[in-house]
Amino acid sequence: MPLEIANYANHYNRDGFVSPIQFLSDVEAADHRRIMEDAEARIGDLHYKAKVHTILRSPFEIASHRSVLDVVENLIGPDILIYNVEYIVKEPHTASHVSWHQDLTYWGFSSDEQVTMWLALSPATEESGCMRLVPGSHVRGMMDHEKTQDENNVLFQGQTVHGVDEKDAVLCPLQPGEASFHHGWTLHASMPNRSDNRRIGLNVQYIKPSMRQLKHDGDSAVLVRGNDRYNHFLPDVPADIDLDPGALVNFEALNKVHQLIAANGKIAS
């Protein structure tokens, strides 16, 4: 049974995530996927490239959709910044996987007043390597992560929490147009894509304006609801046309900043 919006926060606070919530029809999800893949055909791989909403209108349209922001407001309050938007792609029949980890460990934020949306643009099933999460793990705070050398690990440094009891994990399958929301301390992972289809997700990170970036003075975000009384982040400029040459140059710079922040995460060696 679909949850009522008033109950999202209760489930989120208890489990560290809420899922699934449908925002797009199958046709709408297919249209957004086509836009993403057309862009890939023009400029190359978009997997895990930060700030794609500054070069394409489609991801910003999804990330700032009124119904999406209603859920985000229910979870973190009325003042909302979009910190990052990126596509996460697993190609069919590949060994790519994501190890157990917590997002906030390496984002460099001053607090944990944030939420991440993962919206499916293609089927995210057990076969295609949908997300797995450990309910309630967010209340434990930051856990020790170890950098690993695994070329098939999607994570930038292969950062891994060891000793996770697999019996505690639950699958989070999503159909195109459905989304999940999870807390940055929630343990999550995913297995390889064994299906014949690309597993494509749009990953959006929302934060409260009171948050600070502690690791880089040039980090950026964009206000999408409420007020920003702090101005802790430089302003991102959402795309008003797709793949504008000037925006593409800035996109490369933004992506480098994001990678630098991730590379200097607080990860146990």
The confidence score (pLDDT) of residue 95 equals: 85
Q: Which domains does the chain have, with CATH numbers?
A: 12-95+110-124+173-183+192-263 (2.60.120.620)
CA 265, 214, 183: angle at the middle one, nearest 5?
65
**Distance of CA 217 to CAs 45, 220, 233, 236, 260, Å?**
28, 9, 8, 14, 12
**Rounded mean pLDDT for each run of 10 residues along the chain, 269 residues in total:** 71 94 97 98 96 98 97 97 97 85 86 96 96 88 66 63 78 97 91 95 98 93 98 97 98 92 55
**What secondary structure letter does DSSP report for 44?**
-
The confidence score (pLDDT) of residue 89 equals: 95
The confidence score (pLDDT) of residue 4 equals: 66
